[in-house]
Structure 1
Amino acid sequence: MKILFSILLLNLSISAFAQEKKPNIIFILTDDQRWDALGFAGNTMIRTPEMDRLAEEGTFFENAFVTTPICAASRASILTGLYERTHGYTFGQGDIKQPYVAQSYPVKLRNAGYYTGFFGKFGVNYSGFSELFDEGEDYDRNGKYNDRRGYFFKKIGKDTVHLSRYTSQQAIDFIESAPTEKPFMLSLSFSAPHAHDPAELQYFWSSEYDTMYQNLVVPDPLLMEDKYFLDQPEYVRSGENRTRWHWRYDTPEKYQQSVKGYFRMISEVDTEIGKIRKALKAKGLAENTVIILMGDNGYFLGERQLAGKWLMYDNSLRVPLIVYDPRQIGGKRNTNFALNIDVSATILDFAGAKRPKSWQGTSLRSKELAKRKDFLTEHLWQVDIIPPSEAIRTERWKYFRYINDPEHEELYDLEADPMEINNLAADPSRQKILKELREKMEQKIAGFLKEKMD
């Protein structure tokens, strides 16, 4: 009996030690931050010292992409580890379906013994949000205001503050009050740098950032000549990408104001990340807290005389992605394809929890990542102002088409033409690769549909 009792105590001690050593995890999601909108990516104009430090001390994924370039569907993919074609969620679809939520990372983390929190823009309609996390608040820009109040409507004490400031304070409060007997997983979803669409000035930041970038002259966007706009099919030229270009970039003055505003909002988020890391250090948690940072989709800053996202060009698809683990040697650059559907698997990997077999992503820590040589990306929302489209991207090639106009195809040799200028779809010498990519994309789509039916 004494031996059995001793073994039981030993097993309990080992279990407790393992639980104690599980890392805390913070996942930070920004809204509309494109891949190069941070200093570490080579942007010499923007000031993002905290994001840069995370990249320098962690792993920076140089080829990170979303599988759907719009916030609602992309966030659903992050939540569930599934492609849009599988989970079926985007704008105008009602609530995301319960079976997919039941397999989501918040559910799996709580089952694994984590204390969970979420603050910010959830971005996915789900009536059971309040039961999904141990602590949580879902909020975004306040659309009833057509001015700066859209971003300044949350209170800390008696002060009405910008959403970025409010979100970081929610994080700090969570860190300070989280139970010490279990690890925590905190999801933070900043609304910035998303423009406040109803407002004439679009971008809003806290007053202390007013002078930041005031002496900067932002260079003209690439591919700004009429030719690159006129190369687009009519439904793109008359669609929402063009409408929002008029909101933000159609005069030199608007362009300077908008890009500087976009930078200011990112710099404000950056400052708040620094405050969160100080709170971790003060609580003695910094050395055991993993931080993952990602953007929810790419963004046009006037290229091709367009704005927004939604299209299959890399402007829309490519995002920043950093994984910082203080327990590992940092300073790494990973060139493998990394996708938004990989985030949930990565979170569970850090937590030592088993990922559902239904998930379509892989952990960013896995050697399997190096085997990914291509991926599907798609925008399936059927709405008149944004043409739905689908694409396949390999290390060298990208093929895409518009779902409602499949005869319009685009093919780019990304090795020779990384800016996607020369559409080779009509080139007789490229018909073999065009056909191969079209067939490969259709095979992937058929495979996802079969999985869904099964």
Structure 2
Amino acid sequence: MQRTRSFLFACLSILLAGKPLMAQKTATSTKQASVQPNIIFILTDDQRWDALGYAGNKLIHTPEMDKLARQGVYFKNAAVSTPICAASRATLLSGMYERSHRYSFTTGPIRDEYMETAYPKVLRDAGYYTGFFGKFGVKYKDKEKLFDVHDDYDRGPYPDRRGYYYKKIGNDTVHLTRYTGQQALDFLDKAPKDKPFCLSLSFSAPHAHDSAKDQYFWQKETDHLLASTEMPKADLSEDMYFNRLPKPVRDGFNRTRWYWRYDTPEKYQHSVKGYYRMISGIDLEIAKIRERLKATGQDQNTIIILMGDNGYFMGERQLAGKWLMYDNSIRVPLIIYDPRLNKHLDLDEMALNVDVPKTILDIAGVKAPTKWQGKSLYPLVKGTTKSLQRDTILIEHLWEFANIPPSEGIRTKDWKYFRYVNDKSTEELYSLKGDPKEIRNLAADPKYKKQLLALRKKNDELAQRFSDGNSAPPTNLTVDWTQTGGQKVLTEAATPFRWTTPSYAGKETSYQVLVSSSPEKSEQNLGDVWDSGQMKDKSAAGVSGEFANATTKAPSSPRVPLQANTDYFWKVRIWDKDNRVSEYSPTQLFKVTD
């Protein structure tokens, strides 16, 4: 009996002794599960959605990107809201559509208010160690507010091969892709061990070096790829597809750069192979990064996001570059790999670049700024939800630049609608389900008028929803003939149009006045009576609260007589102190009397 009591006492002692150990293990396990993960966001430049082996491309060599897709979550229908690197990168940083941030190449710096809530700053404030290497692509002077370490560079100032070969590792001049990859490896080695990190890598490749005759330059390690392959001709490369394009597109940069890269068989072979080889070079660096993560024991707690900053034309429709609303231009690869989930998904959801910053913060367990306009993709990645509840996306390219017609539109799973901002009568409508290559424009087909009107209305609705007021139009439009001495003629020195400049502008630097013969023409932004073009406001009178004396001129008709007893319709937009363009004002009616 005594031995039995002793045995039971011993067992109880063991159980009681083990209880704290079990509790400790549980606490440790819970702590590990709640540890904020490391995040690596890899952005490539001009990599379109199908420039990826996993997307079905049999010509390109991207084994590491393909592995990320197989091991993680691949978004088959990912896109950018604006297909140009400057505006797309501003969206990725700010979490805002171009409709709001209005940043592009010829504007001043991005507004400070957007960068105060940029994803790297929010993460850094939350305790993350942040780093950036490569092409930042957005004018902003206070990067030290965003990153603990950073190095901002792009293709170099040399108009030849040296554009990609000017950086050094030790004494060796290396390709820019290798340089960025090495900076990533050094970051992983030096990052503090007592806090999570977010590393943003922005490769310049596979962007062409525009000033160079040969355009594309790649590492010797990828030189053998496609060496004995004859690249198939570009899809939709016959003259008929080019001739169907609107004249501003046929005359614009998309065509100009086609001559740089694709207009002869020799150029085409060189450019397409070079483009693919440069992407393969990035793939080599991703492999090294993953090897380093594994060697340092960080691989199981580091989430990798891979995305392209915009799509790309590779000779389709006899075009090059991006900028337009066709799928070639807006669709990009997007992969999110979370090693902690150990799951693979191919998703149909229309994910956007504007979603990425919110996704990064969601992964980190950090609350996103309320003004951000995207959605977190992480619930889809985790499988806690099956839908973004998004059936339509806004796509836009609003940069006012003479050689690229600005455009805007929307895309659903089955439909694409877009129009050109400076001539809204030029519309395109495609049934993607039956016409995925966007060949048959249905905009003028009466059978699809109902669909056209519905999508046009939705375009207007989303454009208004995703504008935060920093591009609001001028107000208080008036017509004052005393300013012209009573003349009923529009000339450079005498026009009657006045307005109040929006307060956000700070100072009006330019304006554009349209005078139309009908409300319909005005709604389509067609100044068929008078289109001043962008006019520099030399008087700088357009300060908030004051009327601007808009001394405009029409370059093609310096003296425009107006008919008596006739209704005219006018509107105006302005450029602010940093050359950001506003929306057009609502149309105003005026009548010329005897």
Give the structure-2-normalised TM-score.
0.73
Residue 309 of structure 2: aligned partner: 296
Query: Pairwise mapping of residues 216-231 of structure 1 onto structure 2 (< 5 A)?
Result: 216-231=229-244
Deviation at 1:15, TM superposition (A): 13
Contiguous gaps of at least 5 residues in structure 2: 1-23, 380-384, 473-503, 505-594
* Alignment partners' CA distance in 2, 1:332 and 1:317: 22
User: Do residues 165 (structure 1) and 178 (structure 2) align?
Assistant: yes
Worse-superposed segment, 297-306 or 324-333: 324-333
* Alignment partners' CA distance in 2, 1:125 and 1:450: 20
Q: Could you say which structure has the greater relative contact order, defined with CA pairs below 8 angstroms and 6 or more residues apart?
A: 1
Worse-superposed segment, 19-28 or 260-269: 19-28
Residue 414 of structure 2: aligned partner: 396
* Alignment partners' CA distance in 2, 1:174 and 1:205: 24
Deviation at 1:217, TM superposition (A): 1.0
Residue 308 of structure 1: aligned partner: 321
Residue 100 of structure 1: aligned partner: 114
Query: Pairwise mapping of residues 41-440 of structure 1 onto structure 2 (< 5 A)?
Result: 41-142=55-156, 144-366=157-379, 367=385, 369-440=387-458
Deviation at 1:329, TM superposition (A): 2.3
Query: Pairwise mapping of residues 13-24 of structure 1 onto structure 2 (< 5 A)?
Result: 17=31, 21-24=35-38
Residue 38 of structure 1: aligned partner: 52
Worse-superposed segment, 118-127 or 86-95: 86-95
* Alignment partners' CA distance in 1, 2:97 and 2:31: 37
State the secondary structure of the residue aligned to 1:372.
coil
Deviation at 1:369, TM superposition (A): 4.5
* Alignment partners' CA distance in 1, 2:345 and 2:32: 27
Letter matched to residue 134 of structure 1: D
Give the structure-1-normalised TM-score.
0.95
Deviation at 1:88, TM superposition (A): 1.3
* Alignment partners' CA distance in 2, 1:364 and 1:24: 17
Kept after mapping to 2: 8 A contact 1:121/1:139: yes
Contiguous gaps of at least 5 residues in structure 1: 1-9
Letter matched to residue 439 of structure 2: I
* Alignment partners' CA distance in 2, 1:116 and 1:16: 25
Letter matched to residue 417 of structure 1: D
Deviation at 1:395, TM superposition (A): 1.1
Letter matched to residue 399 of structure 2: W
Kept after mapping to 1: 8 A contact 2:373/2:466: no
Per-residue CA deviations over 1:318-363 (Å, capped at 9, x if unaligned) read 0000000000123210111100001001100110000111011111
The verdict on how the C-alpha distance between 1:446 and 1:368 changes in structure 2, with shifts beyond 3 A counting, is farther
* Alignment partners' CA distance in 1, 2:133 and 2:463: 34
Kept after mapping to 2: 8 A contact 1:337/1:369: no
* Alignment partners' CA distance in 2, 1:113 and 1:369: 31
The verdict on how the C-alpha distance between 1:105 and 1:368 changes in structure 2, with shifts beyond 3 A counting, is farther
The verdict on how the C-alpha distance between 1:344 and 1:40 changes in structure 2, with shifts beyond 3 A counting, is same
Per-residue CA deviations over 1:362-401 (Å, capped at 9, x if unaligned) read 1112338531100101000000110000011111111100
Worse-superposed segment, 210-219 or 17-26: 17-26
* Alignment partners' CA distance in 1, 2:30 and 2:95: 30
Residue 577 of structure 2: aligned partner: none
Letter matched to residue 240 of structure 2: K
Deviation at 1:17, TM superposition (A): 3.3
The verdict on how the C-alpha distance between 1:423 and 1:133 changes in structure 2, with shifts beyond 3 A counting, is same
The verdict on how the C-alpha distance between 1:16 and 1:150 changes in structure 2, with shifts beyond 3 A counting, is farther
State the secondary structure of the residue aligned to 1:323.
strand
Please tell me whether Structure 1 or Structure 2 has the larger radius of gyration of its CA atoms.
Answer: 2
Q: CA RMSD in A?
A: 1.7
Kept after mapping to 1: 8 A contact 2:121/2:145: no
Q: Whose helix fraction is larger, Structure 1's or Structure 2's?
A: 1
State the secondary structure of the residue aligned to 1:188.
strand
Per-residue CA deviations over 1:298-324 (Å, capped at 9, x if unaligned) read 000000000000000000000000000
Deviation at 1:18, TM superposition (A): 6.3
Per-residue CA deviations over 1:70-125 (Å, capped at 9, x if unaligned) read 00000000111110011111111111000000111011101111000000000000
The verdict on how the C-alpha distance between 1:177 and 1:16 changes in structure 2, with shifts beyond 3 A counting, is farther
Deviation at 1:208, TM superposition (A): 2.6
Kept after mapping to 2: 8 A contact 1:20/1:183: no
* Alignment partners' CA distance in 1, 2:204 and 2:62: 17
Per-residue CA deviations over 1:199-227 (Å, capped at 9, x if unaligned) read 00000011232222101111111100100
Kept after mapping to 2: 8 A contact 1:33/1:320: yes
Q: Report % sequence identity.
A: 60
Letter matched to residue 386 of structure 1: I
Letter matched to residue 152 of structure 1: Y
| Equivalent residues, number | 442
Residue 511 of structure 2: aligned partner: none
* Alignment partners' CA distance in 2, 1:279 and 1:170: 12
* Alignment partners' CA distance in 2, 1:41 and 1:180: 36
Kept after mapping to 2: 8 A contact 1:363/1:369: no
* Alignment partners' CA distance in 1, 2:28 and 2:67: 35
Deviation at 1:21, TM superposition (A): 1.7
The verdict on how the C-alpha distance between 1:445 and 1:15 changes in structure 2, with shifts beyond 3 A counting, is farther
Kept after mapping to 1: 8 A contact 2:375/2:388: no
Per-residue CA deviations over 1:228-274 (Å, capped at 9, x if unaligned) read 00001111111000000000000111101000000100000000100
